[in-house]
C-alpha cells in the first residue's frame, strides 16, 4: 500500500473511534448475501440477549453452532469475504438490531490479505467495538485470533503482529476476551496442522471447527 494511502486510511479509522460513523466500505458485492441474512433474521425474530457470531466466511461456514452450543442461544451473521470495513457497514442491519449480550468476532484475515497493515486492521477493529458499544454498552466482545490458514501462511508475520496487537489492546479493555486459536492450530513443527483445513487450505473442515468449539466454549457467557 502506498505510504500516503496507508497514512490516510489509518487516520480515518482512528478518527472514527468513539463516533457513530462507519469506515467507508464497498457494500454492493455483499448486498445479496446480507439481504438474505437480514430477511432470515426478520422472518424468525431473535429476542435480545443472544450470542452473535459475526465476521467473515470462517464464521459463515460454522453451520454447526446450534449443535456445538445447544444450551446457548446463538445466531450466525457471518458473510463470506468480509473485511472489518464491511462488518461495520452492515452492523446496523445485521448485528445491532439483535442487541446481543455477547459478540464472538472473527475477521481481519481478508484485510491483511488485501494489503492492509496490522496497525490499520487493529484501528478498524477498535472502530467496530466502539460502534457496537454505542448500541449495547454492556456487551461482551470476544475476539477469535487470526487462524494460521495454510493458504495464507506467507502472511504469518502480519498475522502474528495483528494477533499480538489485538491481544495487548484487549488486555486494557473491560468486557473483552482474546481467544487464541492460532497456536493450538499449529503442529509441533510450528506449521499449520493440515488435518484442520479443507481442500482449499483456507477454510476449516469439521475437525477444525471441533477444535474451535473447545477453544471458544469457555468464553461464552450463560444467559441470565
Q: What is the pLDDT of residues 13-53, one digit of tens each?
A: 444 443 333 344 566 889 999 999 999 999 988 999 999 99
- The pLDDT value recorded for residue 28 is 81
The average confidence (pLDDT) of the chain is: 90
Q: What is the pLDDT of residues 80-123, one digit of tens each?
A: 999 999 999 999 999 999 999 999 999 999 999 999 999 999 99
Q: Confidence class of residue 124 from pLDDT cuts 50, 70 and 90?
A: very high
Residue that is written with C-alpha cell 487464541 in the block: 180
Q: Is the alpha carbon torsion for 154, 113, 142, 57 positive or negative?
A: negative
Q: What is the pLDDT of residues 157-172, one digit of tens each?
A: 999 999 999 999 999 9
Q: Which of 106, 118, 132, 117 is CA-nearest to residue 17? A: 132
Residue 147 has pLDDT above 90, yes or no: yes
Query: Where does residue 9 rank: exposed (0-12), middle (13-18), buried (19+ CB within 10 A)?
Result: buried
- The pLDDT value recorded for residue 197 is 98
C-alpha pair distances (Å), 121 with each of 117, 156, 159, 204, 224 = 6, 15, 11, 22, 33
SS3 108: coil
What distance in Å separates the CA atoms of residue 75 and residue 41, rounded to the nearest whole number? 9
- The pLDDT value recorded for residue 25 is 53
What distance in Å separates the CA atoms of residue 115 and residue 121, rounded to the nearest whole number? 10
- Close Cβ partners of 126 (under 8 Å, ≥ 6 residues apart): 13, 14, 17, 169
Which of the pair, 11 or 178, is modelled with greater confidence? 178
Which of the pair, 102 or 1, is modelled with greater confidence? 102
166 phi-psi bin (left φ>0, alpha ψ -120 to 50, beta other): alpha
Host H or E run for residue 131: helix 118-135
- The pLDDT value recorded for residue 11 is 45
Amino acid at each position: 500500500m502506498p505510504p500516503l494511502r496507508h497514512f490516510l486510511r489509518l487516520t480515518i479509522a482512528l478518527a472514527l473511534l468513539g463516533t457513530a460513523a462507519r469506515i467507508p466500505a464497498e457494500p454492493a458485492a455483499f448486498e445479496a448475501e446480507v439481504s438474505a441474512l437480514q430477511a432470515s433474521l426478520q422472518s424468525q425474530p431473535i429476542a435480545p440477549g443472544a450470542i452473535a457470531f459475526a465476521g467473515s466466511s470462517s464464521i459463515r461456514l460454522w453451520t454447526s453452532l446450534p449443535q456445538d452450543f445447544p444450551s446457548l442461544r446463538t445466531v450466525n451473521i457471518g458473510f463470506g469475504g468480509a473485511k472489518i470495513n464491511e462488518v461495520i457497514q452492515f452492523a446496523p442491519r445485521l448485528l445491532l438490531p439483535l442487541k446481543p449480550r455477547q459478540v464472538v468476532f472473527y475477521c481481519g484475515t481478508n484485510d491483511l490479505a488485501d494489503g492492509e497493515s496490522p496497525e490499520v486492521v487493529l484501528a478498524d477493529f477498535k472502530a467496530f467495538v466502539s460502534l457496537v458499544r454505542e448500541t449495547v454498552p454492556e456487551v461482551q466482545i470476544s475476539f477469535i485470533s487470526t487462524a494460521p490458514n495454510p493458504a495464507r501462511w506467507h502472511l504469518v508475520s502480519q498475522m502474528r503482529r495483528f494477533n499480538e496487537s489485538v491481544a495487548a489492546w484487549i488486555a486494557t479493555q473491560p468486557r473483552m476476551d482474546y481467544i487464541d486459536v492460532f497456536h493450538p492450530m499449529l503442529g509441533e513443527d510450528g506449521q499449520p496442522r493440515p488435518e484442520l483445513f479443507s481442500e482449499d487450505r483456507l477454510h476449516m473442515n469439521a475437525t477444525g471447527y471441533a477444535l474451535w468449539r473447545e477453544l471458544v466454549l469457555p468464553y461464552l457467557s450463560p444467559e441470565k
